[in-house]
Each structure stands twice: as structure tokens, then as C-alpha cells.
Amino acid sequence: MGHNSLVTVYKEFCAKRNITMAHTSTYTPHSNPTERVNRDIKTMLAIYTDVHSHWPKYLNEFAFASRTQVSEALGHTPMLLNTGREAPLPSILEYYITGYPLTKINPKSMLKNYSTY
């Protein structure tokens, strides 16, 4: 049986059972928002390490970055849209948990670290 005859048989099958056929477009991963986020995280991982066993070290930070980046289309972060509030920065959480920041920020060392990338 060829493709056309299978389609005819299927249409008759649906018609006899009062089934309304609905056609959808084929799956396109690049248009799926989840796949786009996964692609971005994959790019971040590729930049930071090429050793797959090291990925878990960076995944939380990349997920945080992804959740707190303002969407150009929506004008808000995914965190705000999903929870109704913005995510506090890790340094702010550190302050609330301990009462004082555990790390002192040294701008010169930060600039030195950024210049290596």
C-alpha cells in the first residue's frame, strides 16, 4: 500500500468514527523556547570547559544567569514572570544568611580576572 492509499484509508477510518482530523506543523526545535535556553547554556558550558565531567560545577551559575537575564521580547526576566519576584543576587543572599558579606570585593582583582577572558 502506498502513502496516498494509507491516507485515504485513515481518512475513511476517521470519518466513520466522527473523528475530526487536525494537522499540526512539524516539530522545529529552534523555535521552542526551552531548546533556545538549552542552546545558550550549552554555549556557556562550551566556553568554560570542554570536559563534560566539569559541567556540574558551572550549571547552577549558568541557570541563574539564564533565569535573571531580561528577555528582549517580554521586557522582564524569566524569574519574575514565573515567580512574581526577581531573584536576589548571591552576594545579597550571603549577607542575609550571615549578617555580613563573606567575600570582600576587590575591583582590581575583578578587572584582572575579566581581562583574561
Q: What is the pLDDT of residue 16?
A: 95
Q: Which three cell numbers stand for residue 20?
A: 475530526
pTM higher than the cut 0.85: no
Host domain of residue 14:
6-114
Strands (DSSP E) contained in the chain are none
User: What is the sign, positive or negative, of the torsion defined by CA atoms of 65, 69, 73, 75?
Assistant: positive
- Confidence (pLDDT) at 103: 61
If one counts the domains in the chain, the total is 1
What local confidence, expressed as pLDDT, does residue 84 receive? 92
Name the stretches of the chain with pLDDT < 70. 1-3, 91-117
Residue 110 lies in a domain: yes
Is residue 33 in a domain?
yes
pLDDT of res. 51: 82
Cβ contact 66:77 at 8 Å:
no
Planar angle of CA 90, 94, 95, nearest 5 degrees: 120
Q: Determine, yes or no, domain membership for 1.
A: no
